A and B are shown apart, each in its own frame.
Chain A
């Protein structure tokens, strides 16, 4: 599984530059390469945790594009969107929020900002667990996940609404609760276990960013047929 022990900033760099490359590099070859890499990364986290959610999330976009554009444009934009989606899915699965906070704090960034970023990323597994619990509770009230369109729409409403409502309701409580755990602006948080950041990784990050910038400059200056 990739990403398990890479420095969190490296994970962010990869997840950030892949979509950038998808948009900068000439289509469709550039897009195909980046989408392929992104999907491979997502798949490396497992079929259920990585590849399937990536494909499932990207699919509606492809359909939408097909309705609006001709095939070449659809492919061009679709590959870029797939890269973005797959990169994000991989990032959420690979990045451990605690390590991100530790990394940001060790780098001198504010703990509150780090926490906000980390909390956004960790929201997905929390919501997944809660969604599962809601599914179970609704099934125990007679909700069947099978059936015709009307039944399935009703089922979706019975699942999505409590999830969203309780999550929203909890955002307030959560913001309050986190204040109670000492996140006061202006205090430098003590790093407990900063992730190791080997020179090689740091160099690789810079290389990625520079390559991205170079590609962008080349794209802007050198006129291309696309």
Chain B
């Protein structure tokens, strides 16, 4: 099966400043990948290359079987939906519903399909109740969800999100997690840039770490998040649940809250038993 996304030896510089050097990885459908790294490591540039806004200086970015150099961004929108940071500044329609339906309509799918996709996307992020409101009447957190719904409505094979949880409280972050897990179960591939390693632990299962433009790590997230000695040189730190698992030596070193709670309860019961 062709991977949803594949980078082959991708290098890129802004003028004379090198930003990415020889990055290679691939993401299969249904995979949920976190793109991690310090500020300035090249993550946002990578997103721009995947969206087709820029072409790699060397190497190839494959979205499905399309080479991004043969495409324009509006074409790539058929396969990859990107939500950039500050996407809440790009809402423009008079209602949330109109804004969410903009994408599928621009793709040219039939009106009935547009409506189906819009309602489905709104439901996924629980915004149906606010669908008729003006986007700028919503608080910034809900505007971010509206921007996410706009991308979900494109029903792409690959979803690329740049910091989707900044400014969201716990309840809204949980909504995002739920929406993404549902899509991934439907074989959508996910690539999420995030500083929020707790969110990454709850939502994603593979970690790519960029360090000064090169790919320093590509491995399952749970083992990576628990390993402080690996994370520190990359400017990262284990999220609290992972650190707790390590400190209490919980079997399986769970990194998700629910799993950690289960293990904790199990071990506690085991201690009490004679």
Q: What secondary structure prevails in chain B residues at the interface with A?
A: mixed
The answer to whether the Cβ of B51 comes within 8 Å of any Cβ in the partner chain is: yes
Complex contact B89–A166 (CB within 8 A):
yes
Residues on the A chain within 8 Å of B78, using CB: 142
Q: What secondary structure prevails in chain A residues at the interface with B?
A: helix
Residues on the A chain within 8 Å of B76, using CB: 140
The answer to whether the Cβ of B250 comes within 8 Å of any Cβ in the partner chain is: no
Complex contact B91–A162 (CB within 8 A):
yes
Residues on the B chain within 8 Å of A161, using CB: 92-93
Complex contact A142–B92 (CB within 8 A):
no
Residues on the B chain within 8 Å of A169, using CB: 136
0/1 per residue, B55-91, Cβ < 8 Å to A?
0000000000000000011101110111010110111
Q: Pick the contact of A141 from B53, B106, B136 — CB < 8 Å? A: B106
Separation in Å of the B8 CB from the closest CB of chain A?
22
Complex contact A165–B53 (CB within 8 A):
no
Number of A-B residue pairs, CB cutoff 8 Å, is: 71
0/1 per residue, B144-172, Cβ < 8 Å to A?
00000011001000000000000000000
The answer to whether the Cβ of A136 comes within 8 Å of any Cβ in the partner chain is: yes
Q: Pick the contact of B73 from A133, A134, A139, A157 — CB < 8 Å? A: A139
Of the candidates B73, B77, B104, the one having the most CB atoms from chain A within 10 angstroms of its own CB is B73
0/1 per residue, A98-141, Cβ < 8 Å to B?
00000000000000000000000000000000100110111111
Residues on the A chain within 8 Å of B106, using CB: 141-144, 154
Q: Specify the chain A residue showing the minimal Cβ separation from B94.
A: A161
Known contacts A133-B84, A137-B84, A169-B136; A142/B89 CB under 8 A? no
Known contacts A139-B74, A143-B74; A130/B82 CB under 8 A? no
Q: Specify the chain A residue showing the minimal Cβ separation from B160.
A: A140
A136 to B47, CA, bound (A): 12
A144 to B107, CA, bound (A): 9
A165 to B76, CA, bound (A): 27
The answer to whether the Cβ of A158 comes within 8 Å of any Cβ in the partner chain is: yes
Within 8 A of A (CB), among B80-134: 80-82, 84, 86-87, 89-93, 102-104, 106-107
Residues on the B chain within 8 Å of A136, using CB: 51, 53, 73, 84
Known contacts A133-B84, A143-B74, A144-B74; A138/B90 CB under 8 A? yes
Within 8 A of B (CB), among A37-86: none
A138 to B99, CA, bound (A): 11
Known contacts A130-B89, A161-B92, A162-B92; A142/B84 CB under 8 A? no
A214 to B87, CA, bound (A): 55
A154 to B86, CA, bound (A): 22
A181 to B102, CA, bound (A): 39
Within 8 A of B (CB), among A157-177: 157-158, 161-162, 165-166, 169
Complex contact A137–B77 (CB within 8 A):
no
A140 to B84, CA, bound (A): 10
0/1 per residue, A141-154, Cβ < 8 Å to B?
11111000000001
Complex contact B154–A137 (CB within 8 A):
no
Q: Pick the contact of B103 from A133, A141, A166 — CB < 8 Å? A: A141
Separation in Å of the A134 CB from the closest CB of chain B?
5
Q: Pick the contact of A165 from B81, B86, B92 — CB < 8 Å? A: B92
Residues on the A chain within 8 Å of B150, using CB: 141
Of the candidates A138, A140, A145, A154, the one having the most CB atoms from chain B within 10 angstroms of its own CB is A140
A residues neighboring B (CB under 8 Å): 130, 133-134, 136-145, 154, 157-158, 161-162, 165-166, 169
Nearest first, the 10 closest Cβ-Cβ pairs linking A and B are: A142-B106, A161-B92, A162-B92, A142-B77, A139-B73, A141-B103, A142-B107, A166-B89, A144-B74, A137-B90
Known: A137-B87, A140-B81, A162-B89. 11 other contacts (CB 8 A): A137-B84, A139-B53, A139-B72, A139-B77, A140-B82, A141-B81, A142-B74, A142-B103, A158-B102, A162-B90, A166-B89
User: Can you list 13 A-B contacts with CB-CB less than 8 angstroms, sorted by A residue number?
Assistant: A133-B84, A133-B90, A137-B90, A138-B90, A140-B80, A140-B82, A141-B102, A141-B150, A142-B77, A142-B154, A162-B92, A165-B92, A169-B136
